[in-house]
Amino acid sequence: MPRPINVEKRAELLQQVVSHLQQHGLAQMSLSPLAEAIGTTKRMLLYYFGSRQNLLAQALIANRPDAHAMFDDVHDTAGLRRAAHALWDAMTAGEQSGPIRMLLQLLSLAPTDPQQYGNLAADTVEVMIGPIAAAYVRLGHPPEQARAGATLIVSGLRGLCQDRLVTHDAARTDAAARRLIDGAIAATG
């Protein structure tokens, strides 16, 4: 009988993997050099995560914004605006400011290597759009309009976040994020 997975050790390894990927990127991620860099072995990574693809998926899942927590309690336009601003703050100054680099890398790799990254990237986008679209629906918007508004918020803020990471222009991107959020809410309101 196989021994049970040490959940604490798995969580510790996952956090080390995430830290390494935030600093070194996803594109050339190989298990052996990754394992060496974080002080373990390829065999242990495979034991705890099964495959490179699953390890990458778990690293991304563990560190994406919890859109449900931010948007599930939205019941009015002001709440939607506050939640969208909270998402922007999390992406740029909060707990997501590090992991967002991994997400942006994943989304840039997906078009050129769809077999490796396509499904994971699409799932990552949908995890964000779904709860925001549900908030729009609760405000009385038809589902198609709700998904369009959610897409505008998610994709627009993600693009502005990338701009900010490249240019380091916080004032301009903050101002643009405010306009984007106001426009996305007004367009469906």
Record the pTM: 0.80
pLDDT at 106: 82
- Among 44, 61, 78, the domain-final residue is 61
Residues 73 and 151 in one domain: yes
**Residue ranges of the alpha helices (H) in the chain?**
7-24, 31-38, 42-49, 52-62, 67-71, 77-92, 99-109, 114-138, 143-167, 170-188
The whole domain housing 26 covers: 7-61
Quote the tokens at residue 115: 């077999």
Instruction: Give the end-to-end CA distance of the chain in Å, rounded to a whole number.
Output: 58
Is residue 13 within 8 A of residue 42, CB to CB? The reply is no
Domain CATH number, residue 22: 1.10.10
- What is the DSSP code string of 61-91? HHTS--HHHHHTT--SHHHHHHHHHHHHHHH
pLDDT of residue 80: 96
Tally the domains of the chain. 2
User: Residue 36 falls within a domain, yes or no?
Assistant: yes
Burial of 176 (0-12, 13-18, 19+ CB in 10 A): middle
User: pLDDT tens, position by position, for the chain (189 residues)?
Assistant: 566 778 888 889 888 888 888 777 776 678 888 888 889 989 988 888 888 888 888 887 777 778 888 999 999 999 999 999 999 998 888 666 667 777 888 888 889 888 888 888 898 889 899 999 999 999 999 999 999 999 999 999 999 999 998 999 999 999 999 999 999 998 655
Q: How many CB atoms lie within 10 A of CB 115?
A: 7
Same domain membership, residue 160 and residue 180 = yes
Instruction: Specify the pLDDT at position 34.
Output: 87
